[in-house]
């Protein structure tokens, strides 16, 4: 490589010297070759003269380049060629010698002994170029060569020579750096050259006048050497001397000194060390020293290059100093109660991470690691807060064998720093202080107190059964594990933790969690599962193709169980088994939708079944586990709404979504907008996000290895078939367990193979996304996530350049629920032909609700985006995406406004689309645009039991005529089989028919075709590569369940999961005539785009036709506001 680079550079130089052609030496590739050549500059004996000469000459020619690039090349040319000029000037071309002579003027080139010393100075400067390579490229050979050159220069330059102090200073730095890099990773590193370094640094500092430009650098070098020795020897007075020298360095450095920011960082770090080493207890720190440290580290963060390792270290130090300086920490030294709290926290960490035994065991067998795998959480992936917390957990799992408590605390501080890294340093300090002060007495409970009557009764049942079971009975493992889980739930949700006793409860919690974690592998073994397979089984769980499958499976289990139970007499021997099966299915469905009636029915069945079971019945632990899981879920759901402050305005959403909303509100309270967005993103549309992730990763695997993907899908279906055969409440037979274990082994083998493939290390595991991952979602327009919470409501506006939080003080959760209920009742009256006074009131409610949405939400957000009026007549319409939560999911944000006032509506300022999550939008955008668009039109003019839709035939025929596609499927031709067969070839799909939805069973939503309903499960199971736009001109195709408002379970999301990047759907029923008119206008607006290579402008087309309909019927928004655009 050296010879090849030399030859390449030499050919460029020959062209420049002989032909005067400078294009070769000025080409960008020439600079890259010169940089590559410098990697070979260092040799065991010093430097390679040929490399030095060739690289120097190339940079001399490149000095003619304009501005900064030319200046950098000139500086390098001087460093590289000056040793030749001061020893063998005749070796340099005449123009080079002349330029150096001019640069040195009015000095005269030295002669005799002075020339020897000038050459030593030049070699000293060259040495620092090598030292820079040591630091930046970890080039140890360069570090050793630089050390050799500096030692030689020291020998040549006598005491009193003006250049000797600088050479000594550089020599001291280099001795320290070589020791540190040679023993990197060793703690503490042996530093055999440290005493020599301190000696030469003391001489350098003593012989450099205070007014000299290098005085600050010499002081800084000596201080760093002394600090290293102080750390190694635990010598605090020596550390104090280091601090004073660093203060001198900062005080004497000029503002233009490029080393000043690093000197500030060094001083801040040393001050922090001085403060902590002098504290007898955590918190007993000198606040004046900490204030100085904070000021220095803030200067460092501002002055150091953005994104550099040095800036990152300064940020970490700044965070540590800020946390120590926070008022709550300062008061610890005079507050015994708070000191006790810290001790309890340390004890909690210790109890949670018991010593595992053995050396270098890592975290593989740690209970926390096992639980993390069970949840699908793995460290080292993504940029999100969750990923950072998992990295912290990895450190926690190394305690105490491989990491001390100090390291755990330091990692916690580093994790906490990430929450505030988006803020400027001054604001960061303020935010961190507020965050720490918010938990001064005790952590604010995440949950309000909940009624634990059911849980206490279930605990009594566990204790009774455990008393009756023999000590060696195999079911004790599962029952004990269940009991521990219930005890944890009671402690967490029962409202026992208070500001008076939280330390005592926390002291109990750690050992209890450890016992529960430690028993998990044994419990799984009792169920026939190997702990070794758990990570693979988590992946299988995330390989679920559709969020509708789980809902449909439990709903089918309930229907089947009720039919079976109704068909059996109460004295039939099979009756208890039927009760068990139905109870199991009801418990499972309750955890999806938290319908209290389902829970009460399941619990009643379980109590009756228990009366018939002996303590040794093999099914009993499984029934109690299902019941316990439902009770815990019920407690969590109840605790989230039983807080006195929020109970009045409980929002209809899942526990996961509510937890996410609370976390987002907390994060915004201490100015962590990225954390708020990440919390929302992880908590809403949970089922849909998992399915989209699985489909994306399976698609990636198909592109990489189609055979492996097919095998994975085959195995997954075998497991699903086995689960379906088992049903709810049925004990697995020995042959079932054997088949299960065999499939588990095959699945694990497949997963191990996949994780060894580049790009598939986290295959099918959830990957929480951080702000950098989410920013691309705003590439085509801002995305507005709205968090509705009883404590506060906010919009989080994601733009290409970052995230902007917009407080919405006038939007209140309780009022929103009332407004949404009134709006839906009003729309129902108007769409079902209401007349008279009732209809008049309904019209007023609809108009007022849209105006209210504008006042409290839409206008503040659009103003923050700078969208303060309509675009100019010749301008393009700006786009934006709404990503609401809770009841806002059922309201037409795109139609918010006072429509009698021009410009005061969303329709007048931007084109709106919707997305349930940012992930879903990114997924939609990833769909390629098809080269040739075909269309499928489906129409059902007559549907038994429903109003006729005669205009649907015109809708379908018009689309078929426009696209020149296949004949539409109308009436009797629109069967489920025909539609499912035609969809894979249709880029555009248009459905003009009735739809059915059940708020109590969202997975049962469907499109009504000639031979029956086309279910969400059937739609979402499709895998349509060429799909682009689904137009769903049916009733309520964008309406989900009120109970699962944040889960996006509706017809439109099923089509998006099947592969359609865009969907046009309805929030409520619209008339046949209006539907036909809107559809004709929509497809007409797309006419010119059907043959284009760009994505179809579905959002703009719907926006255009909606504005046209509003113009025709300005006072009737219920007729034109129902349709919305979702997706890309």
276, 281, 209: which is closest to 248 by C-alpha? 209
The tokens for 530 are: 């190997």
pTM value > 0.75? no
* pLDDT score for 523: 59
DSSP 302-325: HHSPTT-HHHHHHHHHHHHHHHHH
- Over pLDDT 70: what percentage of the chain? 79
**pLDDT averaged over every residue in the chain:** 81
CA distance 175 to 167: 12
pLDDT at residue 261, as a whole number: 94
pLDDT digits (tens, 9 = 90+) for 770-821: 888 899 999 999 999 999 998 899 999 999 999 999 999 999 998 999 999 9
Region 300-318: mean pLDDT is 86
In order of 533, 716, 919, 1017, the CA distances from 540 in angstroms are 11, 7, 21, 19
Q: Alpha helix (H) ranges present in 39-193?
A: 49-62, 67-85, 94-104, 112-137, 140-156, 164-182
Instruction: Tell me the CA distances in angstroms from 452 to 586, 597, 609, 620, one per residue in order.
Output: 20, 18, 22, 22
Rounded to whole angstroms, how far apart are CA atoms 41 and 238?
38
- Beta-carbon neighbour count of residue 83 at 10 Å? 24
The answer to whether residue 336 scores a pLDDT higher than 60 is no
pLDDT of 1113 strictly over 70:
yes
The sign of the dihedral angle between the CA atoms of 617, 621, 623, 627 is: positive
Q: What is the pLDDT of residue 512?
A: 52
Bridging pattern class, strands 1029-1032 and 995-996 = unpaired
Question: What local confidence, expressed as pLDDT, does residue 787 receive?
Answer: 95
Instruction: Quote helix, strand, coil % in the chain, to nearest 5.
Output: 65, 5, 30
Please tell me the predicted confidence (pLDDT) of residue 833.
77
- Residues 121 and 165: beta-carbon distance below 8 Å: no
Cis amide bond preceding 544, omega within 30: no
Pairing of strands 969-970, 879-883: unpaired
What distance in Å separates the CA atoms of residue 159 and residue 165, rounded to the nearest whole number? Answer: 9
The span from the CA of 668 to the CA of 791, in Å, is 11
* Number of Cβ within a 10 Å radius of residue 735: 8
* 803: enclosing H helix or E strand: strand 802-807
Select the more confidently predicted residue: 1046 or 84: 84
**What DSSP letter does each residue of 587-640 carry, written as one string?**
HHHHHHH--HHHHHHHHHHHHHHHTT--TT-TTHHHHHHHHHHHHHHHHHHHHT
What's the pLDDT band for 437 if we cut at 50, 70, 90?
Answer: low
Q: Scan for tokens 């540590």, then name that residue.
A: 320
The pLDDT score that the predictor gives to residue 1119 is 92
Under the banding of pLDDT at 50, 70 and 90, the label for residue 445 is very low
pLDDT digits (tens, 9 = 90+) for 119-134: 999 999 999 999 888 8
Both structure tokens of 343: 């001790």
Place of tokens 């459905």: 991
646 phi/psi in degrees, rounded to 5: -120, -10
pLDDT in tens, 458-478: 999 999 998 998 888 878 878
Least Cα distance to 923 among 762, 693, 681 occurs for 693
Is pLDDT above 80 for 46?
A: yes
Mean pLDDT calculated for residue range 399-425: 67
Rounded distance, CA 147 to CA 46, Å?
9
Name the band, by pLDDT with cuts 50, 70 and 90, for residue 359.
very low
State yes or no: pLDDT of 270 exceeds 80. yes
Mean pLDDT of 841-852: 95
174-198 burial code (b ≥16 CB/10 A, e <16): bbbbbbbebeeeeeebebebbeebb
Full DSSP string of 700-713: HHHHH-HHHHHHHH
Is the Cα dihedral 709, 711, 717, 722 positive or negative?
A: negative
Burial code (b: 16+ CB inside 10 Å, e: under 16) for 646-661 equals beebbbbbbbbbbbbb
- For the stretch 711-768, pLDDT in tens is 988 888 887 777 667 666 566 677 777 787 788 778 888 888 887 888 787 677 666 7
Residue 348 pLDDT greater than 80, yes or no: no
Q: Which residue has the tokens 């935010």?
A: 431
CA angle 766–767–772, rounded 5-degree value: 160
Identify the top-confidence range among 217-231, 505-519, 605-619, 688-702: 217-231
Query: Encoding tokens for residue 1027?
Result: 């799909």
Instruction: Round to whole Å and give the CA distance between 923 and 917.
Output: 10
Q: Which of 407-421, 1007-1021, 1053-1067 has the lowest mean pLDDT?
A: 407-421
The percent of residues above 90 in pLDDT, for the chain, comes to: 35
pLDDT-wise least confident of 367-376, 902-911, 995-1004: 367-376
pLDDT of 539 > 60? The answer is no
Both structure tokens of 556: 């089918």
Q: Which residue has the tokens 């083998």?
A: 749
- The CA distances from residue 671 to 432, 936, 1078, in Å, are 9, 49, 44
Q: Quote the pLDDT of residue 530.
A: 60
Are 447 and 493 in contact by the 8 Å Cβ rule? The answer is yes
1042 — pLDDT class (breaks 50, 70, 90): low
Spatial separation of the C-alpha atoms in residues 619 and 785, rounded to whole Å: 46
> Cα–Cα distance between 354 and 349 in angstroms, integer?
9
Per DSSP, what are the bridge partners of residue 1031?
A: 990, 1064
Give CA–CA dist 783/880, Å, rounded.
6
Classify burial at 597, counting beta carbons within 10 Å of its beta carbon; exposed 0-12, middle 13-18, buried 19 or more. Answer: exposed
For residue 837, is pLDDT > 70?
Answer: yes
Most confident of 153-157, 204-208, 375-379, 856-860: 856-860
pLDDT in tens, 164-191: 999 999 999 899 888 888 877 676 778 8
Give the pair of three-digit tokens for residue 831. Answer: 């769409």
What are the DSSP calls for 559-588, one per residue?
HHHHHHHHHS-TTSTTHHHHHHHHHHHHHH
**CB within 8 Å of 183: residues ≥ 6 apart:** 189, 190, 191
* Confidence at residue 358, expressed as pLDDT on a 0 to 100 scale: 40
Measuring CA to CA, which residue among 157, 505, 570, 133 is closest to residue 351?
505
Return the HEC string of 155-217. Answer: HHCCCCCCCHHHHHHHHHHHHHHHHHHHCCCCCCCCCCCHHHHHHHHHHHHHCCCCCCCCHHH
Which of 755, 892, 881 is closest to 820 using CA atoms?
892
DSSP SS3 for 1046: coil
């Amino acid at each position: 490589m050296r010879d090849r680079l030399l030859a390449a550079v030499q050919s460029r130089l020959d062209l420049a010297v002989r032909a005067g052609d400078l294009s070769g030496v000025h080409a960008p590739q020439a600079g890259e070759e010169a940089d590559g050549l410098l990697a070979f500059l260092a040799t065991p004996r010093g430097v390679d003269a040929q490399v030095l000469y060739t690289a120097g000459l190339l940079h001399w020619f490149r000095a003619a380049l304009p501005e900064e690039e030319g200046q950098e090349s000139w500086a390098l040319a001087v460093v590289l060629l000056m040793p030749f000029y001061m020893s063998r000037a005749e070796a340099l071309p005449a123009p080079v010698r002349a330029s150096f002579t001019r640069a040195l003027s009015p000095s005269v080139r030295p002669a005799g002994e002075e020339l020897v010393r000038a050459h030593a100075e030049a070699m000293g400067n060259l040495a620092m170029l090598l030292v820079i390579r040591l630091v930046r490229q970890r080039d140890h050979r360069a570090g050793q060569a630089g050390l050799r050159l500096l030692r030689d220069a020291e020998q040549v330059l006598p005491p009193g020579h003006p250049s000797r102090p600088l050479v000594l200073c550089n020599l001291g730095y280099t001795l320290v750096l070589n020791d540190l890099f040679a023993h990197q990773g060793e703690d503490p590193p042996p530093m055999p050259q440290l005493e020599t370094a301190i000696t030469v640094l003391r001489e350098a500092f003593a012989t450099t006048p205070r007014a000299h430009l290098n005085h600050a650098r010499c002081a800084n070098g000596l201080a760093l050497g002394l600090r290293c020795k102080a750390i190694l020897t635990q010598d605090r007075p020596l550390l104090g001397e280091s601090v004073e020298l660093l203060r001198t360095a900062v005080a004497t450095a000029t503002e233009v000194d490029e080393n000043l920011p690093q000197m500030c960082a060094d001083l801040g770090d040393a001050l922090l060390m001085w403060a902590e080493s002098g504290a007898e207890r955590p918190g007993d720190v000198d606040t004046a020293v900490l204030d100085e440290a904070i000021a220095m580290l803030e200067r460092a963060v501002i002055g150091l290059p953005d994104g550099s390792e040095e800036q990152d270290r300064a940020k970490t130090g700044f965070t540590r100093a800020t946390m120590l300086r926070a008022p709550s920490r300062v008061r610890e030294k005079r507050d015994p109660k708070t000191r006790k709290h810290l001790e309890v926290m340390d004890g909690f960490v210790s109890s949670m991470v018991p010593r595992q035994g053995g050396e270098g065991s890592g975290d593989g067998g740690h209970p926390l690691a096992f639980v993390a795998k069970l949840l699908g959480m793995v460290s080292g992936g993504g940029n999100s807060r969750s990923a950072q917390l998992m990295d912290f957990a990895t450190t926690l799992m190394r305690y105490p064998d491989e990491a001390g408590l100090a390291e755990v605390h330091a990692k916690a501080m580093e994790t906490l720093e990430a929450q505030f890294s988006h803020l400027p340093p001054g604001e960061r300090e303020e935010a961190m202080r507020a965050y720490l002060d918010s938990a001064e007495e005790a952590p604010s409970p995440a949950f309000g107190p909940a009624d634990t009557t059911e849980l206490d009764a279930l605990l009594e049942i566990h204790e009774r059964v455990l008393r009756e079971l023999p000590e060696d009975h195999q079911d004790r493992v599962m029952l004990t594990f269940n009991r521990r889980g219930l005890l944890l739930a009671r402690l967490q949700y029962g409202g026992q933790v208070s500001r008076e006793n939280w330390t005592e409860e926390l002291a109990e919690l750690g050992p209890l969690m450890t016992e529960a974690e430690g028993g998990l592998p044994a419990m799984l073994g009792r169920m026939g599962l190997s702990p070794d397979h758990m990570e693979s089984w988590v992946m299988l769980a995330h390989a679920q193709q559709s969020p509708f499958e789980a809902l449909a499976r439990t709903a089918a289990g309930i229907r089947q169980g009720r039919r079976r139970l109704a068909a059996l007499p109460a004295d039939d021997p099979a009756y208890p088994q039927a009760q068990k099966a139905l109870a199991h299915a009801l418990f499972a469905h309750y955890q999806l939708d938290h319908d209290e009636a389902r829970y009460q029915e399941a619990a009643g069945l379980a109590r009756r079944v228990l009366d018939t079971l002996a303590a040794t019945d093999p099914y009993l632990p499984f029934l109690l586990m299902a019941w316990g899981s439902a009770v815990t879920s019920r407690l969590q759901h109840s605790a989230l709404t039983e807080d006195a402050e929020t109970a009045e305005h409980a929002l209809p959403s899942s526990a996961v979504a509510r937890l996410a909303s609370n976390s987002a509100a907390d994060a915004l309270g201490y100015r962590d907008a990225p954390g708020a967005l990440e919390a929302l993103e992880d908590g809403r549309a949970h089922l849909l996000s998992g399915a989209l992730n699985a489909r994306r990763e399976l698609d990636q695997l198909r592109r990489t290895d189609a055979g492996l993907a097919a095998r994975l899908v085959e195995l997954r279906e075998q497991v699903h078939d086995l689960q379906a055969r088992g049903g709810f409440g049925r004990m697995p037979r020995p042959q079932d367990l054997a088949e299960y274990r065999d499939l588990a082994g095959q699945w694990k083998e497949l997963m191990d193979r996949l994780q060894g493939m580049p790009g598939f290390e986290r295959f099918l595991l959830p990957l929480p996304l951080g702000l950098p991952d989410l920013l691309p979602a705003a590439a085509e327009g801002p995305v507005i996530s709205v968090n509705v919470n009883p404590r506060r409501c906010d919009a989080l506006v994601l733009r290409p350049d970052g995230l902007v939080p917009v407080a919405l003080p006038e939007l209140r959760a309780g009022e929103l629920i009332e407004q949404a209920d009134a709006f839906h009742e009003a729309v129902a009256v108007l769409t079902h032909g209401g007349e008279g006074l009732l209809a008049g009131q309904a019209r007023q409610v609809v108009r007022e609700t849209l105006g209210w949405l504008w006042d409290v939400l839409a206008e503040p957000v659009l103003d923050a985006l700078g969208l303060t009026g309509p675009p100019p007549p010749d301008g393009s319409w700006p786009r934006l995406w709404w990503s609401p939560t809770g009841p806002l999911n059922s309201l037409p944000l795109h139609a918010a406004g006072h429509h009698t006032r021009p410009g005061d509506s969303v329709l007048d300022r931007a084109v709106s689309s919707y997305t349930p999550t940012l992930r879903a939008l990114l997924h939609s955008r990833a769909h390629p645009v098809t080269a040739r668009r075909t269309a499928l039109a489906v129409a059902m003019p007559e549907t038994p039991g429903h109003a006729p839709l005669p205009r649907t035939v015109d809708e379908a025929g018009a689309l078929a005529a426009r696209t020149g596609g296949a004949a539409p499927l109308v009436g009797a031709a629109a069967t489920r089989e025909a539609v499912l067969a035609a969809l894979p070839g249709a880029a555009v799909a248009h459905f003009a028919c009735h739809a059915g939805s059940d708020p109590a069973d969202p997975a049962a939503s469907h499109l009504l075709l000639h031979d029956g309903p086309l279910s969400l499960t059937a739609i979402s199971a499709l895998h349509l590569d060429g799909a682009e736009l689904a137009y769903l001109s049916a009733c309520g195709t964008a309406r989900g369940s009120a109970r699962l408002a944040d889960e996006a379970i509706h017809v439109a999301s099923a089509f998006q999961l099947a592969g359609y990047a865009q969907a046009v759907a309805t929030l409520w029923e619209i008339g046949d005539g209006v539907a036909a008119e809107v559809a004709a206008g929509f497809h007409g607006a797309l006419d010119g785009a059907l043959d284009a290579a760009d994505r179809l402008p579905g959002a703009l087309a719907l926006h255009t036709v909606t504005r046209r309909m509003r113009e025709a019927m300005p006072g009737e928004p219920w007729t034109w506001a129902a349709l919305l655009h979702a997706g890309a």
